[in-house]
Amino acid sequence: MNSTSRNRNGAHLAALGAALALGAGAVATPAGAQASSVADYRNVIANDMRSCAPGKGPAVRVTINGIKNASGTVRAQVYNGTRADWLESGKWLNRIEMPARSGRMTVCLPVPASGNYAVAVRHDVNGNGKTDIRTDGGAMSNNPAINLFNLGKPAIDKTRFRVGDGVSAINVTMKYFG
């Protein structure tokens, strides 16, 4: 393996470490979404696509591309678009977890009010609920470039997007180390 491949694999490893750790071992944290709204953290919800139907919202329709295989589970989480909440343990607003399907999946993540949010997705390939850096995959809103210096946790400015009163649509692409 040449140094370029090692650096690329190292960057993927670091990126996956941050993305895959999302929600692992989270501790409940009380309220407070954004200045304009109040929301509870840690809501586990079903993937109800009716929440993303025309005239509904606020919500985010997330198309997850590049899912490696149909084993394990896929978890999508939406966070307030703040530095204090982004990828912090227990600071996710809504989570959907469902059996993985190879290729592409779509989920609907309602949000408490219009505002700024960020999304993180994890593919737990063996479904063990643990981060297996060499097999699991991850993705984030805006598909940011990842580098080793920020340990795979891109700044909120790279992942944040605006949701209005309706339904916003985003696409994310899974990244896997192996």
pLDDT digits (tens, 9 = 90+) for 5-22: 444 444 444 444 444 444
For 100, counting Cβ atoms within 10 Å of its Cβ (0-12 exposed, 13-18 middle, 19+ buried), the class is: buried
Tokens of 14: 């670091």
User: pLDDT band for position 131 (50/70/90)?
Assistant: confident
> What are 80-113's pLDDT values in tens digits?
999 999 999 999 999 999 999 999 999 999 999 9
- Cα 84 from Cα 32, distance rounded (Å): 11
Q: What total number of domains does the chain contain?
A: 1
Are the C-beta atoms of 172 and 143 separated by less than 8 Å? Answer: yes
Task: Please give the pLDDT value at position 41.
Answer: 97
User: pLDDT band for position 37 (50/70/90)?
Assistant: very low
**pLDDT of 165 over the 50 cut:** yes
Task: Please give the pLDDT value at position 126.
Answer: 96
**pLDDT of 38 over the 60 cut:** no
End-to-end CA separation in angstroms for the chain:
14
> Domain range for residue 144?
3-176
Q: What percent of the chain has pLDDT over 90?
A: 70
